[in-house]
């Protein structure tokens, strides 16, 4: 048994502490969400757009307008970004599935990370057996919208652009000649590009009063432990299909973070950890409990105390995102490489808006990240950061001879969820380990296993039984 597995076992064997941290007031009835009334949908609007020929009337040009060869010859670094447009069935809460549309078999699509000034070579392939064409619009580009048409099944198309501005940028399917763009995006065809500033990220200043009441400024190096958090909604009918009528009414059936409702809440392992019983939930909503759910079983986000943490946040949805972390203050909010705020409690993102949040978790504990709209919280817009060692496991691990020194977060044993971990960039601190978690097809899971990420659902059953 390697050290990681040993520690995992020990964590699983340690019982009961701090359960009140996970106290919760909401009920399953509230979480079940609303039922959608298709009869109320305003089909006339959609019909009118179709009769106009869709928005194709103003989009007559071909998909690939930008000359990749000319950009490659400029001597700039060229980064290939290859996506496949494919419709697949993916899980949703309650043991059901929905008819998803994806970039490369995952929701959100793969994250692109480049440095300001790089050339992005975007290639979109649509398999011959795909049911529809797809497009791609990257907000990191500054190209005429005339360049964004769709690619038919069985075809591949490409465009290139210079990532000129630093920041976080959405990318999304642009539908078939822009028709059905909303359907394709809300069915899962969205992701982000992170464009690192040409000169890297800035160090973080945190200004607070100290215990004595004196003003205390502390500086953290620009290097940070990074996470990506992409918010969106699902608008589904009972059959798991996109419901445009519900979308027009802003009547969503789920709030998702990185594609999943309640994807970062405790699971059965945490039940054992805190209550000594796999079947005693410590959080009212644990819809992804159970090892049989494999990469869908919910996972937590682990950070160290007194560590610079950087969050890349995007709102892909139709509803505002009131981003808040319960028990923390957002030490710095940056948009477009310009600081917008410091020491703010909540920051508002509209649709297709983003930010970079830099913060430090001062005290050990569990901190909920939420869309501070209660309807969003109750329909899935919540997850948990766990900072440091709030459950006091380190002394036990050292006593047991598993560790010689204390570890600064549980990520060293369990890893952080792969769908929340962006690719490494200019000032990234590597995560101690990464577990496989996300709205993925089996092929994507296999790729992540091959890349060395931990399949917790396979590791945990091989451990000795809990005494």
Q: How far is the CB of 173 from Cu ion (least distance, A)?
A: 3
Cβ atoms within 10 Å, residue 437: 31
Segment interacting with Cu ion, rule: CB under 5 A, options 105-113, 119-127, 183-191, 440-448? 183-191
d(CA 290, CA 294): 8
Nearest residue (CB) to Cu ion, 135 versus 422 = 135
What is the CA 370 to chain-centroid distance, rounded? 13
Segment interacting with Cu ion, rule: CB under 5 A, options 172-180, 299-307, 369-377, 400-408? 172-180
Using rule CB under 5 A, residue 372 touches Cu ion: no
User: Under rule CB under 5 A, which residues in 194-253 are in contact with Cu ion?
Assistant: none
Q: How far is the CB of 145 from Cu ion (least distance, A)?
A: 16
**8 A C-beta contact, residue 422 and residue 111:** yes
Q: How far is the CB of 82 from Cu ion (least distance, A)?
A: 16
Residue position matching structure tokens 């204390």: 406
Q: How far is the CB of 350 from Cu ion (least distance, A)?
A: 23
φ/ψ (deg, to 5) at 61: -85, 170
Q: How far is the CB of 198 from Cu ion (least distance, A)?
A: 32
64: tokens are 């690939």
Segment interacting with Cu ion, rule: CB under 5 A, options 21-29, 33-41, 109-117, 181-189? 181-189
Q: How far is the CB of 171 from Cu ion (least distance, A)?
A: 12
Nearest residue (CB) to Cu ion, 22 versus 186 = 186
**8 A C-beta contact, residue 102 and residue 109:** yes
Using rule CB under 5 A, residue 316 touches Cu ion: no
Q: How far is the CB of 138 from Cu ion (least distance, A)?
A: 14
The secondary structure of 134-192 as a DSSP string is EE-EETT----GGG--EE-TT-EEEEEEE--S-EEEEEE--TBTTBTHHHHHHTT-EEE
Nearest residue (CB) to Cu ion, 113 versus 134 = 134
Nearest residue (CB) to Cu ion, 184 versus 308 = 184
Nearest residue (CB) to Cu ion, 134 versus 448 = 134
Strand order of the β-sheet with 321-325 is 301-303, 382-387, 365-371, 321-325, 346-349
Using rule CB under 5 A, residue 184 touches Cu ion: yes
Maximum C-alpha span of the chain: 73
d(CA 138, CA 171): 4
CA dihedral over 375, 378, 379, 382, signed as positive or negative: positive
Among 36, 88, 163, 189, binds Cu ion (CB under 5 A): 189
Nearest to 106 by CA among 458, 444, 465: 444
Which residues, 6+ apart, have CB-to-CB distance to 35 below 8 Å? none
Nearest residue (CB) to Cu ion, 107 versus 359 = 107
CA-based end-to-end distance of the chain:
17
4: tokens are 């990681």
Among 21, 107, 119, 173, binds Cu ion (CB under 5 A): 173
Beta bridge partners of 123: 82, 158
Q: How far is the CB of 85 from Cu ion (least distance, A)?
A: 6
Nearest residue (CB) to Cu ion, 173 versus 285 = 173
d(CA 19, CA 391): 9
Segment interacting with Cu ion, rule: CB under 5 A, options 6-14, 134-142, 239-247, 321-329? 134-142
Nearest to 193 by CA among 301, 312, 105: 312
Using rule CB under 5 A, residue 377 touches Cu ion: no
Compute how many residues bind Cu ion; rule: CB under 5 A.
4
Q: How far is the CB of 189 from Cu ion (least distance, A)?
A: 5
Q: How far is the CB of 182 from Cu ion (least distance, A)?
A: 11
Q: How far is the CB of 148 from Cu ion (least distance, A)?
A: 12
Look at residue 442 and give its three-state secondary structure.
helix
**8 A C-beta contact, residue 222 and residue 202:** yes
Q: How far is the CB of 192 from Cu ion (least distance, A)?
A: 17
425: tokens are 């960039």
φ/ψ (deg, to 5) at 301: -105, 120
Per-residue binder mask for Cu ion (CB under 5 A), 396-435, x = binder: ----------------------------------------
Q: What's the per-residue H, E or C state across 285-297?
A: CCCCCCHHHHHHC
Segment interacting with Cu ion, rule: CB under 5 A, options 23-31, 129-137, 203-211, 389-397? 129-137
Using rule CB under 5 A, residue 181 touches Cu ion: no
Among 113, 134, 270, 332, binds Cu ion (CB under 5 A): 134
Nearest residue (CB) to Cu ion, 341 versus 352 = 352
Give residues in contact with Cu ion (CB under 5 A): 134, 173, 184, 189
């Amino acid at each position: 048994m390697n050290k990681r597995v040993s520690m995992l076992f020990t964590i699983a064997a340690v019982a009961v502490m701090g359960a009140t941290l996970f106290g919760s007031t909401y009920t399953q009835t509230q979480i079940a969400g609303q039922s959608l009334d298709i009869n109320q949908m305003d089909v006339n609007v959609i019909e009118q757009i179709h009769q106009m020929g869709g928005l194709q009337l103003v989009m007559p040009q071909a998909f690939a307008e930008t000359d990749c060869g000319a950009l490659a010859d400029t001597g700039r670094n060229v980064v290939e970004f290859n996506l496949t447009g494919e419709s697949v069935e993916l899980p949703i809460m309650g043991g059901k599935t929905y008819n998803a549309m994806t970039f490369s078999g995952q929701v959100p699509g793969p994250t692109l990370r480049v440095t300001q000034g790089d050339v992005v070579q975007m290639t979109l392939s649509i398999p011959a057996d795909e049911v529809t064409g797809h497009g791609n619009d990257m907000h990191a580009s500054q190209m005429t919208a005339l360049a964004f048409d769709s690619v038919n099944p069985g075809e591949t198309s490409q465009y290139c652009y210079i990532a000129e501005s630093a920041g976080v940028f959405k990318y999304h399917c642009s539908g078939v000649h822009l028709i059905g763009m909303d359907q394709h995006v809300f069915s899962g065809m969205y992701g982000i590009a992170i464009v690192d500033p040409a000169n890297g990220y800035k160090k973080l200043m945190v200004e607070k009063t100290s215990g004595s009441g004196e003003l205390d400024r502390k500086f953290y190096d620009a290097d940070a432990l990074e996470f990506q958090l992409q918010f969106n909604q699902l608008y589904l009918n009972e059959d798991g299909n996109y419901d445009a009528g519900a979308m027009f009414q802003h009547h969503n059936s789920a709030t998702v973070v990185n594609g999943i409702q309640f994807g970062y809440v405790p699971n059965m392992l945490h039940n054992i950890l805190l209550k000594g019983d796999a079947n005693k939930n410590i959080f009212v909503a644990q819809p992804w409990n159970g090892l049989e759910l494999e990469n869908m079983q919910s996972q937590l986000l682990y950070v160290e105390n007194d560590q610079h943490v950087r969050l890349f946040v995007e709102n892909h949805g139709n509803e505002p995102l009131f981003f808040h972390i319960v028990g923390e203050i957002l030490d710095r909010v940056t948009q477009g490489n310009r600081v917008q705020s410091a020491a703010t409690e909540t920051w508002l993102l509209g649709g297709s808006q983003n930010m970079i949040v830099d913060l430090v978790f001062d005290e050990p504990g569990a901190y909920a990240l939420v869309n501070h709209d209660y309807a969003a919280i109750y329909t899935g817009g919540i997850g948990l950061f766990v900072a440091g060692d709030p459950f006091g496991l380190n002394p036990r691990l050292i006593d047991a001879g598993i560790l010689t020194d204390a570890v600064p977060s549980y990520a060293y044993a369990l890893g952080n969820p792969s769908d929340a971990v962006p690719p490494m960039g200019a000032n990234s601190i590597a995560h101690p380990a990464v577990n496989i978690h996300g709205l993925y097809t089996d092929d994507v899971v296999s790729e992540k296993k091959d890349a060395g990420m931990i399949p917790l659902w396979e590791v945990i059953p091989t451990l000795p039984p809990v005494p």
